């Protein structure tokens, strides 16, 4: 076994003077943010049905130093109903009480609480409320992805509808103030109602709300005015606006309509929260975009207004943040994903512990949670969403009173996270991996196009493990049962990962049979340096990133490659992570032919036979190699061997053998990290029969009139 040499660590030294500017207070109308760290509104999948889960999730960030903490989209009226996607509501007394849990939690740490009041306009289908969606001119958003499709077209708003929408906003603002919010939003972005008035494609009106930019801005102006009238003395009023499209349209007096919009509204809101227009560009994955990608669109805003400006850009580097402030791009550093991945990011900068920041990797698993309609999950931060229901704190782990000597076999994401959490809990940990570096699957995957930032999962954990005297790390240590017994741990955790198989797939949508041929490859072959030669066909029924990114990788290596999938799109599941449009673009740029809705039936070394999923019609593709990106199965030889010798293990003092991560159930990296964390938190505890606490909606309010006047 080779002992991994740890580096000398430097303890926290207090805030670097260069970063002190980030801790200056900023005035937002009648309220003051204690620093420049601003958790912008972001989807959390936590509706009013999960008020305690939500409050604890947001509280962790306030505790970690974010000066402002906002909700996600919060509907002002049942005519803005996005079900089955999760959204918050501000409709009645129950909602006020539900939100009050969050504002109280945020205030406990001296931070401000903001609420993103929202009307979805034509982009919602009102599946639950069954009210007609509203839109300036009856123009629908007709999405091409089934998760967003709907069959109900919006009603064109008349003057009474416009008046009503303004009243809902004002009522929502008053209710928000009662709930304890300090900042109240007007939302004019991301295809929602306010935005639809701004864009001529949605807004064909010939009255005072349509036509010129002044007229198209009128509804948004009125939303701000009614909000200020309602709560402006007590609360900061923020305008959240998408500027990407408008920035591309020449203005009459200004370089673009985005400039004209800001100029027209320059003095009105207390804060501008500026962003892109659609989720794939606004919340873009690191695979395709770097830190600070919004800057070219929003860089001008501060030149046209004296009001503070907040924006995002997956900022995790304090130097980049300071540069945004010094260069006059932003006043407040907006964070959604960086605050999910590390709720304690500001505290770590303030205390000179930048090296400890758990940097967001930009994988967008968090956004997939919203698309799935569940509370947020994060690859880097397994405690996200678990603060209340499992009592997991993002930084603290309860010290055990009964430390055990634990051997973890496998240093991939699951093993690393398990070692870190066990180490924090005070256990004596030995982490051994058979490879020459830690990281497991990421050792290869970080080398694939665009995935370098994903290795932050490894870097963060290795950095922390380095500082722990109770954790020993060993490389080039492939362990079998005899070696494990020799090491004599009290507990063995098997984190040996999974391997890709060469299984095929049927029209019943299940993997079946294998394709055995010397020119058939799996991603593991390519990871180990065994490359296909000649024209190569990638058959992908895994549907997440691997099929697409491996195709890109092979194309980059100069291999002539084509891509086939039984799904309707390449890397179909990446619609959930906002990556799908860019996956297609990347394959098109590499001139990779993409064949959808086809199964791979056979391959004889020269020809691959495909069949159409629905018609069964055959198609023949000349190729010399096939790469199957399909089913992964646990790498369980060690686990099975340990179980087979259970009596011997017991006799040698080993209390138990556990499995985590892909060795337990192959999944995304987020699953492996969560699995490793969970085992470590629960080791040695007597667990309750229910796996987690169940939240309940607040239903004790008397007023159920959703359109009642505010309290
Ligand atoms: P996960 O995502 O669950 O963490 P990975 O596949 O990323 O799984 O990592 C598994 C790691 O386990 C790999 O680094 C591999 O080298 C290591 N490994 C597998 N079998 C053994 C073994 N018998 N002894 C030591 N290390 C092993
Ligand atoms: Fe960042 Fe991925 Fe976590 Fe989202 S899930 S916050 S993108 S690390």
Distance 3 CA to ligand 1 centre (A): 17
Q: Is 441 in the pocket of ligand 1 (CB under 6 A)?
A: yes
Q: Give yes or no for residue 141 having a pLDDT over 70.
A: yes
Q: Please tell me the distance from the alpha carbon of residue 427 to that of residue 403, in angstroms, as a whole number.
A: 5
Cβ neighbours for 108, distance < 8 A, ≥ 6 positions apart: 59, 62
Q: Please tell me the distance from the alpha carbon of residue 387 to that of residue 395, in angstroms, as a whole number.
A: 11
Beta bridge partners of 493: 408, 658
Q: Please tell me the distance from the alpha carbon of residue 450 to that of residue 439, in angstroms, as a whole number.
A: 17
Count of positions (residues) in the chain:
711
Per-residue pLDDT, 146: 84
Cβ neighbours for 212, distance < 8 A, ≥ 6 positions apart: none
Per-residue pLDDT, 686: 78
For the CA of 670, the closest atom of ligand 2 is: 5
Which ligand is located closest to the Cα atom of residue 453?
2
Report which of 446, 369, 335 is spatially closest to residue 41, judged by C-alpha positions. 335
Concatenating the DSSP letter of every residue in 549-601 gives HHHHHHHHTT--EEEE-SSSSTTGGGGGGT-HHHHHHHHHHTT--EE-SEEEE
Query: Model-level pTM?
Result: 0.96
Phi/psi of residue 451, nearest 5 degrees: -100, 10
* Confidence band for 687, pLDDT divided at 50, 70 and 90: confident
Per-residue pLDDT, 13: 79
Cα four-point dihedral sign 687, 692, 697, 698: positive
Q: Please tell me the distance from the alpha carbon of residue 603 to that of residue 254, in angstroms, as a whole number.
A: 60
pLDDT digits (tens, 9 = 90+) for 203-221: 999 999 999 999 999 999 9
- Looking up tokens 């293990």, which residue turns up? 649
Distance 120 CA to ligand 1 centre (A): 46
Per-residue pLDDT, 709: 38
Distance 323 CA to ligand 2 centre (A): 23
Test site for ligand 1: of 421, 433, 461, most ligand atoms within 8 A of the Cβ: 433
Per-residue pLDDT, 147: 82
Distance 253 CA to ligand 1 centre (A): 61
Which ligand is located closest to the Cα atom of residue 337?
2
For the CA of 285, the closest atom of ligand 2 is: 7
Q: Give yes or no for residue 30 having a pLDDT over 60.
A: yes
Test site for ligand 2: of 312, 341, 369, 456, most ligand atoms within 8 A of the Cβ: 341
**Ligand 2, atom 1, residue with closest C-alpha:** 360
Report which of 243, 282, 139, 246 is spatially closest to residue 201, judged by C-alpha positions. 139
Distance 422 CA to ligand 1 centre (A): 18
Q: Is 415 in the pocket of ligand 1 (CB under 6 A)?
A: yes
Distance 435 CA to ligand 1 centre (A): 8
Pairing mode of beta strands 37-39, 332-335: parallel
Q: Give yes or no for residue 695 having a pLDDT over 60.
A: yes
pLDDT digits (tens, 9 = 90+) for 105-134: 999 999 999 999 999 999 999 999 999 999
Across 489-517, average pLDDT? 96
Q: Which residues are catalytic?
A: 192
Q: Are 583 and 538 in contact (CB under 8 A)?
A: no
- Pocket of ligand 2, beta carbon within 6 A: 337, 340-341, 360-366, 378-380
Q: Are 211 and 157 in contact (CB under 8 A)?
A: no
Q: Give yes or no for residue 708 having a pLDDT over 80.
A: no
Per-residue pLDDT, 14: 94
Distance 520 CA to ligand 1 centre (A): 23
Across 176-184, average pLDDT? 98
**Ligand 2, atom 2, residue with closest C-alpha:** 363
Which ligand is located closest to the Cα atom of residue 285?
2
CB atoms within 10 A of CB 176: 32
For the CA of 438, the closest atom of ligand 1 is: 14
For the CA of 666, the closest atom of ligand 1 is: 3
For the CA of 384, the closest atom of ligand 2 is: 3
Burial class (CB in 10 A: 0-12, 13-18, 19+), 591: exposed
Q: Give yes or no for residue 596 having a pLDDT over 70.
A: yes
Indicate the helix (H) or strand (E) that contains 135: strand 134-135
**Ligand 1, atom 24, residue with closest C-alpha:** 478
User: Is the pLDDT higher at 240 or at 701?
Assistant: 240
Q: Please tell me the distance from the alpha carbon of residue 673 to that of residue 124, in angstroms, as a whole number.
A: 34
Cα four-point dihedral sign 56, 84, 187, 295: positive
Per-residue pLDDT, 705: 52
Q: Please tell me the distance from the alpha carbon of residue 644 to that of residue 637, in angstroms, as a whole number.
A: 11
Q: Please tell me the distance from the alpha carbon of residue 515 to that of residue 608, in angstroms, as a whole number.
A: 11
For the CA of 338, the closest atom of ligand 2 is: 6
Q: Give yes or no for residue 527 having a pLDDT over 60.
A: yes
Q: CA-CA distances (angstroms) from residue 364 to 209, 280, 338, 376?
A: 37, 10, 11, 10
Q: Please tell me the distance from the alpha carbon of residue 587 to that of residue 570, in angstroms, as a whole number.
A: 9
Q: Give yes or no for residue 269 having a pLDDT over 60.
A: yes
Across 163-189, average pLDDT? 98
Report which of 659, 687, 682, 654 is spatially closest to residue 671, judged by C-alpha positions. 659
Structure tokens at 172: 């929502």
pLDDT digits (tens, 9 = 90+) for 543-570: 999 999 999 999 999 999 999 999 999 9
272 prior amide bond cis, ω within 30: no
Which ligand is located closest to the Cα atom of residue 524?
1
**Ligand 2, atom 3, residue with closest C-alpha:** 378
Distance 433 CA to ligand 1 centre (A): 6
**Ligand 2, atom 5, residue with closest C-alpha:** 378
Percentage of the chain surpassing pLDDT 90?
93
Report which of 115, 131, 201 is spatially closest to residue 165, judged by C-alpha positions. 131
Q: Are 457 and 359 in contact (CB under 8 A)?
A: no
HSE-up of residue 110 (Cα within 13 Å, Cβ side): 7
Test site for ligand 2: of 335, 361, 368, most ligand atoms within 8 A of the Cβ: 361
Q: Is 523 in the pocket of ligand 1 (CB under 6 A)?
A: no
CA 630 to chain centre: 24
Per-residue pLDDT, 240: 98
Which ligand is located closest to the Cα atom of residue 419?
1
Rounded to whole angstroms, the maximal C-alpha distance in the chain is: 85
For the CA of 337, the closest atom of ligand 2 is: 6
Per-residue pLDDT, 145: 84
End-to-end Cα separation, the chain, in angstroms = 68
Q: Please tell me the distance from the alpha carbon of residue 634 to that of residue 273, in angstroms, as a whole number.
A: 46
Q: Please tell me the distance from the alpha carbon of residue 326 to that of residue 320, in angstroms, as a whole number.
A: 10
Distance 412 CA to ligand 1 centre (A): 6
Cβ neighbours for 332, distance < 8 A, ≥ 6 positions apart: 26, 33, 36, 37, 38, 67, 68, 271, 308, 309, 310
Test site for ligand 2: of 379, 394, 669, most ligand atoms within 8 A of the Cβ: 379
Distance 381 CA to ligand 2 centre (A): 8
Helices (H), 180-212: 193-198
Test site for ligand 1: of 410, 494, 495, 662, most ligand atoms within 8 A of the Cβ: 410
Q: What is the DSSP letter of 294?
A: T
Distance 458 CA to ligand 1 centre (A): 13
Structure tokens at 352: 């000179």
Q: Are 671 and 497 in contact (CB under 8 A)?
A: no
CB atoms within 10 A of CB 421: 24
Q: What angle do CA 41, 44, 47 make, to 5 degrees?
A: 105
pLDDT digits (tens, 9 = 90+) for 644-686: 999 999 999 999 999 999 999 999 999 999 999 999 999 988 7
Q: Are 427 and 406 in contact (CB under 8 A)?
A: yes
Q: Which of 26-40, 203-217, 364-378, 694-708 has the lowest mean pLDDT?
A: 694-708
- What does pLDDT average to over the chain? 95
For the CA of 361, the closest atom of ligand 2 is: 8
Which ligand is located closest to the Cα atom of residue 673?
1
Q: Is 412 in the pocket of ligand 1 (CB under 6 A)?
A: yes
Q: What is the DSSP letter of 17?
A: G
Q: What is the DSSP letter of 693?
A: P
Cβ density class 394-409: b for 16+ within 10 Å, e for less? bbebeeeeebbbbbbb
pLDDT digits (tens, 9 = 90+) for 336-363: 999 999 999 999 999 999 999 999 999 9
């Amino acid at each position: 076994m080779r002992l991994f040499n740890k580096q000398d660590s430097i303890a926290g030294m207090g805030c670097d003077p260069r970063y002190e500017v980030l801790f200056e207070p900023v005035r937002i109308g009648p309220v003051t943010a204690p620093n420049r760290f601003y958790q912008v509104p972001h989807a959390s999948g936590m509706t009013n049905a999960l008020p305690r889960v939500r409050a604890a999730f947001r509280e962790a960030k306030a505790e970690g130093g974010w000066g402002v903490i906002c909700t996600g989209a919060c509907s002002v009226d049942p005519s803005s109903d996005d079900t089955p996607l999760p959204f918050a509501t501000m409709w009645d007394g129950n909602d006020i009480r539900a939100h009050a849990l969050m504002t109280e939690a945020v205030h406990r740490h001296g931070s401000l609480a903001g609420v993103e009041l929202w009307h979805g306009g034509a982009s919602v289908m009102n599946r639950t409320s069954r009210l007609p969606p509203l839109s300036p001119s009856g123009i629908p958003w007709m999405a091409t992805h089934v998760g967003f499709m709907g069959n109900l077209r919006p009603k064109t708003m008349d003057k009474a509808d416009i008046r009503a929408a303004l009243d809902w906003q004002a009522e929502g603002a008053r209710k928000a103030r009662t709930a304890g919010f300090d900042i109240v939003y007007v939302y004019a972005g991301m295809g929602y109602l306010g935005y639809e008035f701004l864009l001529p494609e949605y807004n064909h009106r010939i009255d005072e709300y349509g036509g010129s930019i002044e007229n198209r801005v009128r509804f948004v102006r009125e939303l701000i005015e009614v909000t200020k009238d309602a709560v402006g003395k007590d609360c900061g009023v923020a305008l959240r606006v998408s500027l990407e499209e408008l920035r591309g349209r020449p203005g009459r007096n200004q370089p673009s309509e985005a400039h004209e919009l800001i100029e027209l509204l320059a003095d009105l809101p207390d804060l501008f929260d500026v962003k892109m227009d659609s989720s794939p560009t606004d919340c873009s994955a690191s695979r395709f975009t770097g830190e600070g990608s919004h800057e070219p669109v929003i860089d001008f805003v501060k030149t046209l207004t004296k009001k503070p400006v907040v924006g995002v850009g997956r900022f995790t580097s304090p130097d980049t943040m300071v540069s945004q402030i010094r260069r006059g791009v932003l006043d407040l550093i907006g964070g959604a994903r960086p605050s999910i991945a590390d709720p304690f990011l500001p505290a770590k900068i303030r205390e000179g512990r930048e090296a400890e920041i758990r940097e967001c990797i930009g994988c967008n698993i968090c956004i997939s949670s919203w698309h799935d309609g569940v509370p947020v999950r994060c690859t880097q931060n397994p405690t996200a969403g678990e603060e209340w229901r499992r009592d997991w704190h993002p930084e603290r782990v309860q010290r055990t009173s009964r430390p055990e000597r634990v051997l973890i076999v496998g240093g991939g994401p699951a093993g690393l996270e398990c070692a870190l959490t066990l180490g924090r809990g005070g256990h004596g940990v030995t982490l051994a991996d058979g490879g020459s570096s830690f990281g497991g699957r990421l050792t290869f995957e970080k080398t694939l196009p665009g995935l370098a930032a994903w290795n932050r999962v490894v870097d963060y954990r290795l950095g922390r493990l380095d500082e722990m005297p109770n954790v020993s790390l060993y490389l080039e240590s492939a362990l079998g049962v005899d070696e494990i017994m020799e090491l004599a741990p009290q507990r063995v955790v098997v984190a040996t990962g999974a391997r890709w198989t060469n299984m095929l797939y049927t029209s019943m949508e299940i993997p079946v049979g294998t394709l055995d041929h010397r020119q058939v490859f799996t991603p593991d072959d390519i990871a180990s340096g065994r490359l296909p030669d000649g024209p190569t066909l990638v058959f992908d029924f895994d549907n997440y990133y691997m099929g697409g990114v491996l195709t890109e990788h092979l194309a980059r290596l100069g291999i002539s490659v084509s891509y086939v999938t039984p799904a309707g799109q390449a890397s179909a599941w990446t619609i959930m992570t906002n990556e799908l449009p860019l996956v297609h673009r990347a394959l098109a740029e590499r001139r990779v032919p993409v064949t959808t809705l086809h199964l791979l039936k056979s391959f004889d070394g020269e020809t691959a036979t495909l069949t159409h999923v629905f018609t069964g019609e055959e198609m023949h593709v000349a190729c010399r190699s096939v790469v199957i990106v399909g089913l992964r199965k646990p790498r369980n030889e060690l686990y099975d061997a340990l179980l087979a010798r259970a009596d011997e293990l017991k006799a040698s003092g080993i209390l138990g053998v556990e499995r985590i991560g892909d060795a337990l159930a192959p999944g995304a990296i987020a699953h492996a990290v969560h699995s490793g964390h969970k085992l470590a938190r629960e080791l040695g505890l007597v667990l309750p029969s229910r796996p987690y606490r169940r939240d309940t909606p607040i239903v004790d309010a008397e007023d159920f009139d959703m359109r009642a006047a505010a309290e």
